[in-house]
Amino acid sequence: MKTGPDEHEPDEHEPDEDDLTNTSLMERTSPMEITGKTALVTGANRGFGRHLAAQLRDRGATVYAAARNPAAVDLAGVTPIALDVTDPASVAAAAAATRDVAILINNAGSGTGASLLTGDLADIRLEMDTHFHGTLAVTRAFAPQLAEHEQSAILNVLSVLSWVSLPNISAYCAAKAAEWSLTNALRAELAPQGTRVASLHVGYMDTDLARHVTEPKSDPADIARIALDGIEAGEAEIVADEISKQVLAALSAGVRGLYPQVA
């Protein structure tokens, strides 16, 4: 005798029009041309964000290079703009000062190195405020501009650490995991307005954020190219390096596959 949620089998039924429409929007992978579009990149004054802004410019986009200190943006051919993703007033001001944004790249990040168990709570909050609340705030602020276009796109720069956690930087991992869930939710909510939401998963890159890491690091210019190719191809999930592919494949194995030392 069956008990619990399986006790009553659901009735079979034909999908209704809304089901079909939502599925179609979610699965759409039509190409998107970057040339001629207006893009905004957060955290564009250095590292990976600077590479993204430069390559968007080189592909023919009009680029807003957002940073907490716009004077730190030293990239020719882009428009610096002040934007602190952890400050609601700054986010609102940036959205009011821009127009025609069709591509939004949520790249701004923090790396406090805090442990969830022993780290300073202020550092843990900063990780969540930057990667989760900051990404959400920027997306909400720019969604109306994105909706003005027949095709628009958001890229959330995540990490392989959105799928697996390391104890010594577990606050960062938890924030990236939350941002991954946020990305999946926004993908469904923004699909009806024609905005595609993509996630970028990558391991260590050779930037200031990973300057103390001794493990192999990817060239951020290469990852930026892969990310923008993914936007143009309409990909929903951009898995940019081998370590990310390996961890993604291990997700189905659960705790035993990802954390054999404690399983």
| pLDDT tens readout for residues 18-76 | 544 444 444 445 689 999 999 999 999 999 999 999 999 999 999 999 999 999 999 99
> For residue 119, which amino acid is it?
G
**What pLDDT is stored for residue 151 in this prediction?**
93
Q: How confident is the model at residue 6 (pLDDT cuts 50, 70, 90)?
A: very low
Q: Which residue has the higher pLDDT, 3 or 183?
A: 183
Q: How many CA atoms lie within 13 A of 180 on its CB side?
A: 20
Torsion of CA 90, 66, 196, 60, to 10 degrees: 150
Active site residue ranges: 172, 176
Please report the sign of the dihedral spanned by the C-alpha atoms of residue 129, residue 220, residue 158, residue 217.
negative
Mean pLDDT across the stretch 178-207?
94
| pTM to 2 decimal places | 0.86
Q: What is the mean pLDDT of residues 3-20?
A: 45
Q: What is the mean pLDDT of residues 117-121?
A: 97
Domain ranges of the chain: 32-258
Residue 94 has which token pair?
């940036």
Output the pLDDT for position 204. Answer: 79
Domain 32-258 CATH assignment equals 3.40.50.720: yes
Q: Provide the phi-psi class of 110: left if phi over 0, else alpha when psi is between -120 and 50, else beta.
A: beta
Q: How confident is the model at residue 210 (pLDDT cuts 50, 70, 90)?
A: low
Residue 7 has pLDDT above 60, yes or no: no
> With 90 as the cut, is the pLDDT of residue 209 above it?
no
Note the pLDDT tens digit of each residue in 71-114: 999 999 999 999 999 999 999 999 999 999 999 999 999 999 99
Average confidence (pLDDT) over 172-200 = 97
Interval 213-242: pLDDT, tens: 667 778 999 999 999 999 999 999 999 999
pLDDT of residue 213: 64
Listing DSSP states for the chain in one string gives ---GGGSSPPPP----HHHHHHHHHHH-------TT-EEEETTTTSHHHHHHHHHHHHTT-EEEEEESSGGG---TTSEEEE--TT-HHHHHHHHHH---EEEEEE---------TTTS-HHHHHHHHIIIIIIHHHHHHHHHHHHHTSSSEEEEEE--GGGTS--GGGHHHHHHHHHHHHHHHHHHHHHGGGTEEEEEEE---BSSGGGTT--S--B-HHHHHHHHHHHHHHT-SEEE-SHHHHHHHHHGGGHHHHH-TTT-
- At 133-166, the pLDDT tens digits run 999 999 999 999 999 999 999 999 999 999 999 9
Q: Above 60 in pLDDT, residue 10?
A: no
List 79's β-bridge partners, or say none: 64
* pLDDT score for 249: 93
pLDDT at 26: 44
